[in-house]
A = this chain, B = another copy of it.
Amino acid sequence: MPIEIEFFEEDKKLVVGDPASVTSLRKAFYGENEGAAVFLRPEEALYMLDVRNGRCLDENGREVTFNKIASHFGDAPRLMTRYYAFKDWRDRGLVIRPVDEATHYNRNPTHKYPSPGFDVPKYNAVARFYPDDNYAIIDDDIVGERMYTEHWFGQFGTYKADKHGRYNKLDIYEALFLLRHGSITIENANERQLIEAAKMNNSFFEPIYNVYEDWRMRGFVVKTGFKFGTHFRIYFPGAAPSRTTDDWIHSKHVLHVFPRTMELLTSELSRAIRVAHSVKKTFILAIPGEEIMKDVKPDYLLYHRKKDGIETPEDGMPKYLMLSLNEDEKISGAYLASAIDAAKNVGLSLMLAMVDRETSITYYRVRRIELKDSKYEYYEIDWKQP
């Protein structure tokens, strides 16, 4: 029998009283129990109308449509984005509950990365900086080749053909890093001038550089991620440049920087993750900066599957907090960082549910990285089919 909901406009309550319906709703963990009735949240009521053939009537027996219900909850921000994320999780046969029910769990695994540190060598090389192009080029082929071979600074010779050509080209991140740590001199620019040149094209250069420096100082090799759609690709400590295909594929991780003060469309963040996924790299997100946002609350508490069925509030624990995001919505790094913190505070990982214009959902799971002595927090973000 289709579920009948009664809507009490004054209290904005959505109530199901029919005993059979109450039993069925309780069994599937919908709503709040109030005596013999179940009070539904707006998303839950919308779901009944949308896919359960449910009906909603007001106190006078007049039909209340989907849009009518929603119009009474205009104070619930982003209701439709949240609704379609809710719907998708329910459509998968999984339980989804209000985030306020979260207590504390210990289901927030972190991924530990090595962090041996790095002593910046003194190369005493002299480079010339090209401010239009953001390269610093070293005439001296002896030291230029050594920097490249020993620690993979710059590109000696030609990309994938380092014997072809005789100069080392440092990129702007490498040039600033080596200059700042006293490893090289630059004949025509100082630190400030390097930074100013880089900021002409990218006002977020400094936070991106800070992330570069952080990983380099932990011992990682950090090169451009251009081919993978990200700011950087990284190699684990000990990596060396090589032209062989075997070594080449040892870069399994890409690193992208989303400064706290930056705003971007959800679709832009997703695009970067997609390229990384299509080339089978682990996507690492850095959210550097100081800005704190305190009031970001993820949308739902997600129960997931277990070996022999599904997890429920009765039988199991939630696995994620869900933050729903609309394709056309702009978010800041600080906003995302705060949502991740909220999940961490209840001992869960954050699940991003990106709702596109066709209300199709793409899920990205956010897992914290442990990188000893690091200045920032980093996250692996992977595409997930729940």
Please report A residues at the B interface, Cβ cutoff 8 Å.
49-51, 65-68, 70-71, 77-81, 84, 87, 91, 128, 130, 132-135, 137, 139, 155, 158-160, 164-167, 169, 171-173, 187-188, 198, 200-202, 223-224, 226-227, 229, 265, 267-268, 270-272, 274-275, 278-279, 326-330, 354, 356-360, 362
The smallest beta-carbon distance between A285 and chain B, in angstroms, is: 15
Q: Which residue from B50, B87, B132, B270 sits with its C-beta under 8 Å from A226?
A: B270
Residues of B within 8 A of A133 (CB): 78-81, 326
A66 touches B139 (CB 8 A): yes
The distance in angstroms between the C-alpha atoms of A87 and B132, with both chains bound, is 18
Residues of B within 8 A of A272 (CB): 271
Residues of B within 8 A of A84 (CB): 169
Q: Given the known A-B contacts A167-B50, A169-B359, A357-B223, are A132 and B66 also in contact in the complex, defined by CB atoms under 8 Å?
A: no
A67 touches B358 (CB 8 A): no
Taking each of A67, A68, A77, A84, which has the highest tally of chain B beta carbons within 10 Å of its own beta carbon?
Answer: A67
A201 touches B51 (CB 8 A): no
The distance in angstroms between the C-alpha atoms of A71 and B279, with both chains bound, is 39
A80 touches B132 (CB 8 A): yes
Interface CB pairs A-B, < 8 A, 10: A50-B166, A70-B137, A91-B164, A171-B357, A226-B357, A227-B356, A227-B360, A227-B362, A229-B267, A229-B275
The distance in angstroms between the C-alpha atoms of A218 and B311, with both chains bound, is 50
The distance in angstroms between the C-alpha atoms of A77 and B297, with both chains bound, is 49
Other contacts beyond A79-B132, A158-B359, A275-B278: 16, CB < 8 A: A51-B158, A51-B166, A67-B128, A70-B130, A78-B132, A79-B133, A134-B326, A155-B360, A169-B358, A171-B357, A201-B330, A202-B328, A223-B357, A223-B358, A224-B358, A278-B279
